[in-house]
Amino acid sequence: MGVLTKCFKYLIVICNILLALIGIVLLSGGIILLVDSQNYIRTLLKGYYKLDGNFSGNGSTPADPGSGVDFTEFVRPIGIVLIVSGTVVAIIALVGACGICCNKPSLLVIYSVVVIVLIAAEIVLSVLFFIKLFDDIIKTGVKETLVKNYVDIHDRGEYSVIWNVLMIHHSCCGVDGYEDFNASLKWTRDRPPPWWPTGTELNATVVAPIACCKNAQDIREKSYGGYQGDLSCATDPTDETSNWKKGCWKEIEKIFEPHRITVIGIVCAIVVAQTVLVLIAIAVAWSLYKTARDEY
């Protein structure tokens, strides 16, 4: 076996050890996310949005954001994806390392085929991501969380909390605007909530959620003791008092759009590295096969 082949073997072993570590990190992160989702999301809300108020509406005074809210359902899919991804990466890396250490060309061939399939999938997904093919699918899913789960500014459901944070701190309303709430299954426009000002008519119609008001934060905090201020921003909204016509989807795009090219660049680098590893693995497998054939 030549010096170059030995160098290739060491390179594959080192790279696959690193991949296995990455897989373990992803796996651990997924498990931690599922086990301790409450603290993770609460810390994220406090850190990213610099929140001081309690968006769960639990208690008589503001406290930590997200306290008393069960985020398990919201983060479970993310945790599962991390666990599955980490497990797959770790297994693939283990197969590649074992193929080298045990001088098994068959394992290296399996390793190469699997990585080639992953490379093809990564290229296809990157192209679809670049042309924004997934945007409409994601947007539909995001709107579905609002329609099916949003209640009001004081609801402790995980989706209500997240939507309230998004709408208040990005000065927006719904996905495309206040009309998204027309199809809402839980938010009601015809019945005032318990904390509505004394004397408000029970048949008052709320046009847009309180969270869409430009002073929503102030309303939310003062309503713990029974808000007595003006709520025309909800019953008779205007562009001066409410963000009712400004959808949050554009704000979400502003958050992620700058990172789109970065993500694609990272994927391209990963594809190049994987391609090099496959070529090296095939070369080593062929060398091992020739050596075994000559010895036989």
Distance CA 83, CA 144 (A): 25
Q: pLDDT-based confidence at 190, cuts 50/70/90?
A: low
**pLDDT of res. 78:** 80
Distance CA 131, CA 154 (A): 38
**pLDDT of res. 296:** 57
Instruction: Please name the amino acid found at residue 268.
Output: C
Distance CA 112, CA 92 (A): 10
**pLDDT of res. 229:** 61
Alpha helices in 226-248 (DSSP H): 232-235
Q: Is the pLDDT of residue 172 over 90?
A: yes
**pLDDT of res. 87:** 93
∠ CA 58-64-66, rounded to 5°? 65
How many other C-beta atoms are found inside a 10 Å radius of the C-beta of residue 255? Answer: 11
Cβ-Cβ contacts under 8 Å for 189 (sequence gap 6 or more): 181, 205, 206, 207
Per-residue pLDDT tens for 116-170? 999 999 899 888 888 878 888 889 988 998 999 898 887 777 788 889 888 988 8
Q: pLDDT-based confidence at 188, cuts 50/70/90?
A: confident
Mean of the pLDDT values across residues 91-100?
89
Q: Is the pLDDT of residue 240 over 90?
A: yes
Mean of the pLDDT values across residues 205-229?
74
Q: pLDDT-based confidence at 91, cuts 50/70/90?
A: very high
277: nearest Cα among 118, 102, 91: 118
∠ CA 189-190-193, rounded to 5°? 80
Mean pLDDT (the chain, rounded): 79
**pLDDT of res. 58:** 43
Distance CA 176, CA 167 (A): 12
Provide the Cα torsion 200, 201, 203, 207; round to 10°.
-40
Per cent of the chain over pLDDT 70 is 77
**pLDDT of res. 62:** 39
Q: pLDDT-based confidence at 199, cuts 50/70/90?
A: low
**pLDDT of res. 126:** 84
Per-residue pLDDT tens for 51-75? 444 444 443 333 444 445 556 666 7
Alpha helices in 2-104 (DSSP H): 3-35, 37-49, 72-101
Per-residue pLDDT tens for 1-52? 567 778 888 888 888 899 899 999 989 988 887 777 666 666 666 554 444 4
Distance CA 152, CA 161 (A): 9
